[in-house]
């Protein structure tokens, strides 16, 4: 079973630099387009009524950082 863990900015930066995680952008596509995004992040559009298909396609062997 997966574990959800809150981390601080310093730990997030450390993980990103080590390339041990994948960023997930958990906003709507409209927000992403209007505000911008972090390069390399994957969009999980939370405005969709059923996001389970997008989540099921994620690699289970990868750790993800949601923002």
* 7-56: pLDDT as tens digits: 899 998 898 888 888 999 999 999 999 999 999 899 998 888 778 888 88
* 55-65: pLDDT as tens digits: 888 888 888 99
Q: Choose among 35, 38, 29, 34: nearest CA to 67.
A: 38
53 to 4, 9, 48, 61: CA distances (angstroms):
20, 29, 11, 17
Which pLDDT value is given to residue 1? 46
């Amino acid at each position: 079973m997966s574990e959800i863990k809150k981390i601080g900015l310093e730990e997030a930066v450390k993980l990103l630099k080590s390339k041990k995680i994948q960023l997930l952008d958990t906003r709507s596509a409209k927000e992403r387009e209007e505000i911008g995004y972090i390069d390399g992040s994957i969009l999980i559009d939370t405005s969709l009524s059923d996001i389970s298909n997008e989540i099921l396609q994620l690699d289970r062997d990868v750790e993800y950082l949601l923002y």
